[in-house]
Amino acid sequence: MEWLRRLLLPVDQGSEFAKHIDNMYMAIFWLSVIMFFGLMVPMCYFAWRYRFKPGRVTPHQTHNTVMEIVWTVIPLLLCVGLFFWGIIGYMQFAVGPGESMEIQITAKQWLWQFEFPDGTRAVNELHIPVNKPVHLVMTSEDVLHDFFIPDMRVKRDVIPGRYTEYWFTPTTVGEHVSTCAEYCGKGHSDMKAKVFVDTPADFAKWMETGGDEWMHHTPEEWGRIQYEQKGCQSCHNVDGTRSKGPTWKGIWGKPVKLNNGTTVIVDEAYVRESMMQPGAKVVDGFENIMPTFQGLLRENEIRGLVAYIKSLQ
């Protein structure tokens, strides 16, 4: 029945918890199938067997206490069983194992920011080592979000003003997607992050260098990838149209008017400053809503973005 599980649930079972959930899901699924046919087969049979015949006399059956007790008690027992099974599974998710790696998640419209205990930070890209329990401690800077990793079968709301948490242990190396599962406005469906489950060696390497992928791209390409991954695209368009923030197309080397009345030329220094201190120079007609990327972008990523903006003529 693996094909059925693959149809009804995500193909990847990225954690022990996912296998547990899948087993429960399939058990309830088959229970439901049995009960569904247990209801529908009699219905169809009665409909056919007792279809209208002129003059047929129907019996006056008002109740049958034994039967009614049976069909009250049996479902009740099933429910009690499922309830306890559900709690056992839930506790794996809500109560942590002894030792785990903590990752702090900060959500904002519309990007995910991850921070490791040593201060390493990343945006929309979460690297975790395989077979090591992960403890997510999450908060939001604006509205409700929800960090959902379908392949791990885990999700919990990310709430402004307080922290929420959950645990899971990834068991297979590979790339997964996490999505926002609590409606948060315009960019809700674009608020995705990549979850990379790495081998311990790869993970250690990533922690040191932030990965080596940038070496395989031209700076412009690398910049475009950052544009898509770090959440720039939720506020900046590259086709010349206005969004929450100004477009990037055709601005390089041109003067722009700021909201304090002065004018500035778009060059590398200005672009860098806008990423690190977005509030310092705000383009006229836009609100100061951009979060700072200080400490979130590596040097190679900043250079890529500068090159990408330069290429958008």
Q: Which of residues 121-160 bind other proteins (CB under 8 A)?
A: 137, 139-144, 146, 148, 150-151, 153-157, 159-160
75 forms part of the interface with other proteins (CB under 8 A): yes
Q: How far is the CB of 254 from other proteins (least distance, A)?
A: 25
276 forms part of the interface with other proteins (CB under 8 A): no
Select from 19, 30, 76, 212 the one that contacts other proteins (CB under 8 A): 76
Q: How many CA atoms lie within 13 A of 123 on its CB side?
A: 22
Residue numbers 204-263 binding other proteins by CB under 8 A: 235, 244
Q: Where does this chain touch other proteins (CB under 8 A) — which range of 35-43, 211-219, 249-257, 259-267?
A: 35-43
Tell me the C-alpha distance between 6 and 80, whole Å.
Answer: 28
Q: Where does this chain touch other proteins (CB under 8 A) — which range of 84-92, 196-204, 252-260, 268-276?
A: 84-92
The SS3 assignment for 139 reads strand
Q: What is the strand order of the sheet 193-198 is part of?
A: 125-129, 193-198, 174-180, 145-149, 154-158
Select from 1, 2, 3, 51 the one that contacts other proteins (CB under 8 A): 51
By C-beta, is 6 or 257 nearer to other proteins? 6
Residue 106: φ, ψ to 5°: -120, 125
Rounded to 10 degrees, the C-alpha dihedral 231/285/141/308 comes to 20
Specify whether the backbone of 116 is left (phi greater than 0), alpha (psi in -120 to 50) or beta: beta
Q: Where does this chain touch other proteins (CB under 8 A) — which range of 91-99, 209-217, 255-263, 294-302?
A: 91-99
